[in-house]
Amino acid sequence: MSAVARLRARFAAKPDQPLKLIGATGQLGYGVPEPAFTAALARKPDMIGADMGSTDIGPTFLGSGQMATAGEQTRRDLEKLLVGARSHDIPLIIGSAGSAGAAAHLDATLAMIREIAAEHGLSFKLAVIHSDMDRNSVSAAVEAGRVRGMGVLPDLTVEEVRASSNLVGQAGTEAFIRALETEPDVIIAGRACDTGIYACIPEWLGFPTGLTVHMAKIVECASLCCLPGGRDPILAVLDKQGFVLESMNPARAATPMSVAAHSLYEQADPHRITEPEGASLVDTATYSAVDDRRTRVAGARWQPAEQLTIKLEGARYLGERAVLLAGSADPRFIQNVKTLLEEVKAVVQELVCGAGVAPDYDLTFRTYGLDAVFPWPDPPATPPREIFILGEVIAPTTDRALAVTKSTKQYLLHHGFPGRLSTSGNIAFPFTPPELAAGPAYRFNAYHLMEVDDLAAHFPVTTELVG
Amino acid sequence: MRLMEMARVVRSKNAGPLHLTFDIMLETEADYERCLAAPGLRAEPIAKIYSVSANAVAITPYPTARAIKITLPRHEAAGAPGDRDVYGAQQHAPLLEIEV
C-alpha cells in the first residue's frame, strides 16, 4: 500500500481526526535546516511539502531551462526530503520543480530523484504533473479572446506564444488531486500554484477549501510567518474549523500578529488568495494565540471562481548578455558621468557598427551611487564620493556582446571631456577582464490569464515506479 | 515626522512579475491611524513618485496587522532589459521620506 493510499484509508476509517502538514521549505535548493526537519519528522506528519519555484528569479531560468539553485545543494535538499519521507512512509509533494517548472526543469529534478532513490535503495510510486502548455491550445485561446493581460505586458499574440522558449501554466489544486487519485508515495509537479502542494490532501479528504487554501498559503513559506521569520520547516495541524501553526525551530514563534502580517507578503491584496478554482477570502480570518509559540487560525471563506483560469508564464530569448564592471572616484568624472556615458555610447556605436548603421545590440549603463536602483527625479544634494558603473550589453552572440563591451570599456576609460584631470583613465577595474559573459538573456513575454472550461486537459499526470 | 522614523517595516517586493507591492507596518494603533490619514500616503502623491497613473495605485488598509498595503504596476516586467530591480525589493526607498 502506498503512503497516499494508507493516508486515505486512515481518514476513511476516522474522518474527524486532525491532519498534520509540514511545510519543509519555501524554496528548495538553498538548504533545509537539519534540526528543524528532524523535529518535523518526529511529529509524525501526514504529509511533507516543498516548493521549488517562483517568478521572483526573473525570466532567464524559465527561458533557459536551468535551475536557479545550485545543482549540488538542490540534490542535497531533495535527498533530505525524499529519504526522510520514504523512511517514515509519509507522502511527499514537491511543486514548481527545478525553479520554473517547465519540462527541462522537471526532467532535471526527476533525474535527481531517481539517482537518490537508487543510491538509497528506495522504491516508490511517483506521480508527475506536467505544466508545459500546448502552443496550439493557447494560440486558439488567444484567437478566441480568452486570454487577458494582467499589467504592463501587451496582449498576448500567437506570434509570442510560438516564440516563447518555454511556456508553462500554473497547475492548481485540481491537478494535485488527480495525482493523489493515482495513490502515489511522491508527487513532483512542474510549474504549480504553491498552495496546491498543501491544499490538495486536505481538500481531497474533505476539509473546507477556504480554510485549507489559507493554511496552504502560509505554510508554503515554511517559518517565514514567525517571529523572527526564517527558513525552518513549519507544522500546521488542521481540523475542520481551523489550524494551528508551529515552527519546528523552537527559536521562532508563530504569533497572531506575525501570522496575520504574513498575508501581506508578496500578495497584491491581503484580503484574498486567488487560485485557478476560486479565492479564499481571509478578511474574516481570526488569529489567536494557543501559547507563546503557536497560533490558531480560523474563519477564511471560499468563493468558487465563476470562470476557471490558468496563469500562463512564458519567457522569450533576446540574445547573449555581457557586462562591464567599473568604478570611479574622480569628482569631475562623477559630476559629468550621465553625459559622458551617452557620448561613449555614440562613439562605440560608430566604431563597432560603422557610421549611421543601427546597432545590433542594446547597451545600458547603470550608475550606482546616483540612480541605478531607483530613478530619482533629482541628483543628490552632495555628489557621492564614488560611483559604480555597470555596463550591460545584449547582442546576437556572446562574441558580439563581448566585443561591444570591450570597446565600451576602452573608450570609457579614455574618453576626454572639458576639465578632465585624470587623463590616464576615468575608471577603476576591480579585476581583469572587467567584461564578463553573463549567458543568455530572456524577457517574460507571457504572464496572462487564460480562461478554460476544464483544467485537467492542460496538466497531464503520469506515474512511474521508481526503484 | 518622516515615515522611516515612525514605521516598524517599510518594504517593497514584486507581487508577480508585473506589479510592485509595498507594506508599511506600524507599531501602535495611533501610528497606524496617523499613516492612514497622511496626505503623502494617498494615491495621487504615490502615483507621482512612481510615475504611474493614480487610478492604478491600490491602497489597502490591513488593520489586523496594523499595516497599509500599496500595490502598483511595474514599468516593465521583472527582468526585462533596463529593469533596475528584478525582485523589486528596493523600490520602497522614496516612501521613507514621506511626511506622516
ipTM for the complex? 0.95
Same domain for A403 and A304: no
Identity of the residue in B15, B51, B81 whose CB atom sits nearest the CB atom of A266: B15
Distance separating alpha carbons of residues A256 and A457, to the nearest angstrom: 40
Residues 6 or more apart in contact with residue B43 via CB below 8 angstroms: B54, B55, B57, B59
- Cross-chain residue pair B17–A447, CB shorter than 8 Å: yes
Within-domain flag for A156: no
In a shared domain, residues A261 and A372: no
Domain count, chain A: 2
CA neighbor of B98 nearest in space, from B10, B33, B1, B13: B1
* Separation of alpha carbons A86 and A80, rounded Å: 10
Residue A157 lies in a domain: no
Contacts of A410 (CB under 8 A, 6+ apart): none
What pLDDT is attached to residue A266? Answer: 87
Indicate yes or no: CB of A442 within 8 angstroms of CB of B65.
no
From residue A236, how far is each of A72, A286, A296, A372, A409 by CA, in Å?
29, 16, 9, 42, 55
Please tell me whether residues A81 and A34 are part of one structural domain: yes
Displacement of CA A51 from its chain's centroid (Å): 9
For the stretch A221-277, pLDDT in tens is: 999 999 999 999 999 999 999 999 999 999 999 999 999 999 999 889 999 999 999
C-alpha–C-alpha distance, residues A70 and A15, integer Å: 42
Residue A298 and residue A349 in one domain: no
Predicted confidence band of residue A426 (pLDDT cuts 50, 70, 90):
very high
Q: Are residues A436 and A417 in the same domain?
A: yes
Identify residue B50 by its one-letter amino acid code: Y
A392: containing domain:
318-443
Q: What percentage of chain A carries pLDDT values higher than 90?
A: 98
B62 and A266: CB-CB below 8 Å? no
Looking at the structure, do residues A438 and A457 belong to the same domain, yes or no?
Answer: no
> Each residue of A32-77: pLDDT tens digit?
999 999 999 999 999 999 999 999 999 999 999 999 999 999 999 9
Q: How far is CA A123 from CA A92, A119, A415, in A?
A: 14, 11, 66
Q: Where are the alpha helices (DSSP H) in chain B?
A: 3-6, 29-37, 43-49
pLDDT for the residue numbered A323: 98
Phi, psi of B23 (to 5 degrees): -120, 130
Evaluate if residue A87 carries a pLDDT over 90.
Answer: yes
Q: Encode pLDDT of B15-40 as tens digits.
A: 999 999 999 999 999 999 999 999 99
Residue with cell 487577458: A148
Residues A204 and A233 grouped into a single domain: yes
Chain B residues with beta carbon closer than 8 angstroms to that of A152: 18, 73-77
Q: String of b and e for A97-128 (b: at least 16 CB within 10 Å)?
A: bbbbbbbbbbebbbebbeebbeeeebebbbbb
For residue range A432-456, list pLDDT tens digits in order: 999 999 999 999 999 999 999 999 9
- Quote the pLDDT of residue B4: 97
What pTM did the predictor assign?
A: 0.96
What is the distance between the terminal CA atoms of chain A, rounded to a whole angstrom?
16
Contact yes or no for A363/A348 (Cβ under 8 A)? yes
pLDDT over 90 (residue A29): yes
- Split into its structural domains, chain B has a count of 1
Contact A444 B71 (CB under 8 A): no
Q: How many residues does chain A have?
A: 467
Q: Which three cell numbers stand for residue A439?
A: 549567458
Provide the β-strand partners of residue A265: none
Question: Chain B within 8 Å of A268 (Cβ-Cβ)?
Answer: yes
Asked whether residue A154 is assigned to any structural domain, the reply reads no
B interface with A, Cβ–Cβ < 8 A, is: 13-19, 21, 23, 25, 51, 58, 60, 62, 64-65, 67, 69, 71, 73-82, 84-87, 90-91, 93-94
- Which CATH number covers residue A433? 3.30.70.600
Grid cell in block for residue A39: 523535529
The pLDDT tens digits for B68-82 are 999 999 999 999 999
| B40 CB neighbour count, 10 Å cutoff | 16
Q: How many residues belong to chain B?
A: 100
Q: Report the alpha-carbon distance of residue A201 to residue A184 in Å, rounded.
A: 12
Is A192 within 8 Å of A131 (Cβ atoms)?
Answer: yes
**Whole domain around residue B78: which residue ranges?**
3-97
Minimal Cα–Cα distance from A364 to chain B, Å?
A: 7
| Alpha-carbon gap: B27 to the closest alpha carbon of chain A (Å) | 11
Average pLDDT, stretch A105-125?
A: 98
**Residue type at B47 in one-letter notation:** A
3-class DSSP state for residue A5?
Answer: helix
* A415, three cell numbers: 574618453
Contact (Cβ atoms closer than 8 angstroms) between residue A379 and residue A369: no
Using alpha carbons only, give the angle B46, B51, B55 rounded to the nearest 5 degrees.
60
A140-183 pLDDT tens trace: 999 999 999 999 999 999 999 999 999 999 999 999 999 999 99
Maximum Cα–Cα distance across chain B: 43
- And the C-alpha cell for A249? 525551530
Strands of A97-217 (E only): list them. Answer: 124-129, 147-148, 164-169, 186-189
Cell numbers for B92, please give them. Answer: 520602497
Does B85 sit within 8 Å of A270, measured CB to CB?
Answer: no
Q: Please compute the mean of the pLDDT values over residues A12-19 and round it to a whole number.
A: 96
Bridge partner residues of A449 (DSSP): A148, A311
Residue A13 lies in a domain: yes
Distance between CA atoms of residues B27 and A28, nearest Å: 33
